[in-house]
Amino acid sequence: MALSDLNPVERNEEGIAAVLGILKQRLGERFQTGQAIRSQHAHTTTYIPTQAPDGVAFPETTAEVQEIVRACAAHRVPVIAFGVGSSLEGHTNAPGGGISVDTSRMNRILSVNPQDLDCTVEPGVTREDLNRHLRDTGLFFPIDPGANASLGGMAATRASGTNAVRYGTMRENVLSLTAVMADGETVTTGKRAKKSSAGYDLTRLLVGSEGTLGIITALTLKLQGIPQAISGGVCPFPSVEAACNAVIATIQMGIPVARIELVNALQMRAMKTYSKLDYPESPCLFVEFHGSDAGVAEQAETFGMIAQDNGGGPFLWTSVAEERTKLWKARHDAYWASLTLRPGAKGLSTDVCVPISRFAECVMETEADIAEMGLIAPIVGHAGDGNFHVLVLMDVNDPKEIALSEKFVARLNMRAIAMEGTCTGEHGIGQGKIGFLRSELGHSVDIMRTIKQALDPQNIMNPGKILPDAG
């Protein structure tokens, strides 16, 4: 993607120089301006060119985040929140320079309330940290993007993962947030009650706001009990259409599947080698059930019958934890496995989501498009939600390949929108998807801009993201 295609944000050299001085004095070693660390904080896992911030701050408390934001507000300098940098659409780039606020030192688990099944954490806690901490409580936090992302970043991108079909996304699992807003004031958006109809839902406004409205400094999250029994396995299919139809039937029959993931034949080829899996090189569904011993066995058998009706199988499933862990590790490593299909290439990862009844049609049309355009682009999907990802492997030094890949992504996004779906089920808009937002949401984009202008009139919070033109 050419830089000129991205939302431009004007640099405020004088303001930036002033803030660099203030933060160096205030934070000392916890404020870094070296080239490598600045690039690392812009360079997310994307083909979009790096636009580095001018400095990286490592606050340890909400009060320090407030000080940083106040300094930036006083001098009209961009502030870009940073979790672990695993976002895929140029989210942490700094097109107008400014200060990256790295939350990795805000990594305390503030409370766990087993009786209420909730916890409160700082934003730099990662999903794996949290689940390690919870291990002895019988509870877990189910949202699992493929990367070990920070919970602040996950809330900010409204992330989900393989478990969303059963447990929902960050939207359903955040009870309340504390955030530092553009004027440096903090807001706490709710209490710990499981539901509330008290006023505008600011929690859900901040979830998915990608750091453009405020910096999250604490999150209260719902937790789940670890199921008594878990079973799961892999089921091969003769075609991607058959696999998708089995997913649709499973969801429409109301089988309470916990995970149901599509892996197409090319992706399976990569995963077989990378993760040493012993399955056929054909489209497969990775499936998991949570419940009682009898319940998971019954669900697995019912799913096996649906698979058979669609020409798939055998569905080999197991309750043995080590075997299941191997399968899901392979699924989470799918991105890295794909990169081995074309050594030296960079991956353009894009995601769309459609109503479940259109899932097979959307995946098949996309596979046909990939073949017609001569791309190497494996597909994986959180199929139960109608959500899938395509990783286009391309030579980023070849402008023709970049143009072709972008054309493919545009067609994919417009296809999903035409099927009453969305241009992003979980990765977010960042810079890469700005061009599709109006096609999907029309006048809603103007309402979003009004909200942005009201809450961040100077446009300092992660400018150049989500909204077209106006930053």
The strand pairing partners of 316, in sequence order, are 234
Q: Which of 67, 118, 210, 385 binds ligand FAD (CB under 6 A)?
A: 210
Interface mask toward ligand FAD for 305-344; x: CB under 6 A = ------------------------------x---------
Q: Which of 75, 91, 166, 290 binds ligand FAD (CB under 6 A)?
A: 91
Interface mask toward ligand FAD for 142-171; x: CB under 6 A = ---xxx-xx-xxx-xx-xxx----------
Give the other-Cβ count within 10 Å of 444's Cβ.
Answer: 11
CA geometry: angle 78, 79, 81, nearest 5 deg: 145
Alpha-carbon distance of 343 to 339, in angstroms, equals 6
Query: According to the binding rule CB under 6 A, does residue 45 interact with ligand FAD?
Result: yes
- The residues, ordered by sequence, that sit 6+ positions from 340 with a Cβ below 8 Å of its Cβ are 270, 273, 274
Query: According to the binding rule CB under 6 A, does residue 81 interact with ligand FAD?
Result: yes
**What are the CA-CA distances from residue 381 to residues 267, 270, 279, 294, 386 (Å)?**
11, 15, 18, 28, 8
Write the burial class of residue 28 (CB in 10 Å: 0-12 exposed, 13-18 middle, 19+ buried). Answer: exposed
Closest approach of ligand FAD to the CB of residue 252, in Å: 23
Q: Which of 75, 427, 433, 452 binds ligand FAD (CB under 6 A)?
A: 427
* Residue that the structure tokens 């393989």 belong to: 162
Pick between residue 177 and residue 277 the one whose CB is nearest to ligand FAD. 177
Pick between residue 87 and residue 120 the one whose CB is nearest to ligand FAD. 87
Query: According to the binding rule CB under 6 A, does residue 92 interact with ligand FAD?
Result: yes
Q: Which of 54, 385, 426, 440 binds ligand FAD (CB under 6 A)?
A: 426
Q: Which window, 141-149, 238-246, 340-348, 407-415, contacts ligand FAD (CB under 6 A)? A: 141-149
Q: Which of 84, 130, 165, 467 binds ligand FAD (CB under 6 A)?
A: 84
Which value, to the nearest 10 degrees, does the dihedral of the CA atoms of residues 221, 214, 45, 146 take?
Answer: 10
* Residue that the structure tokens 């030579």 belong to: 395
Positions in 109-138 near ligand FAD (CB under 6 A): 123
Angle separating helix axes 399-418 and 359-373, nearest 10 degrees: 160
Binding footprint of ligand FAD, residue count (CB under 6 A) = 36
Alpha-carbon distance of 272 to 133, in angstroms, equals 32
Q: Which residues bind ligand FAD (CB under 6 A)?
A: 44-45, 80-88, 91-92, 103, 123, 145-147, 149-150, 152-154, 156-157, 159-161, 210-211, 215-216, 335, 426-427, 462
